[in-house]
Amino acid sequence: MADSFYFCLKHHAVEGPDGCRPADRLGPYPSEDEAARALEKVEERNQEWDNDPNWNDEGPGSGPKLR
């Protein structure tokens, strides 16, 4: 990507392609604004997957029960 932006999980900041190591960041994103919303997007996707009947036959909150 010519213009790529990343969200650094270590510094909680948007950075360009020459930022922190790949293991410490999310992306690439097409704009700084999209990269700045990276953690919001992660939360939105987690909520969607938690409530997706194709991934969870027993509904939200199901999963292994810890004893």
Q: Average of pLDDT values for 23-47?
A: 95
Q: Average of pLDDT values for 20-36?
A: 96
Q: Is the pLDDT of residue 13 over 70?
A: yes
Q: Which domain holds residue 26?
A: 5-50
Asked if residues 35 and 5 have their Cβ atoms less than 8 Å apart, the reply is yes
Q: Is 62 part of a structural domain of the chain?
A: no
CA–CA dist 42, 32 (Å, integer): 16
Q: Is 37 part of a structural domain of the chain?
A: yes
How many domains are contained in the chain?
1
- Comparing CA positions, the residue from 50, 46, 30, 45 lying closest to residue 7 is 30
Q: Is 15 part of a structural domain of the chain?
A: yes
Upstream peptide bond of 28 is cis (omega within 30 degrees of 0): yes
Q: Is 67 part of a structural domain of the chain?
A: no
- Comparing CA positions, the residue from 26, 53, 20 lying closest to residue 41 is 26
Q: Is the pLDDT of residue 37 over 80?
A: yes
For the full predicted model, state whether its pTM sits above 0.75: no
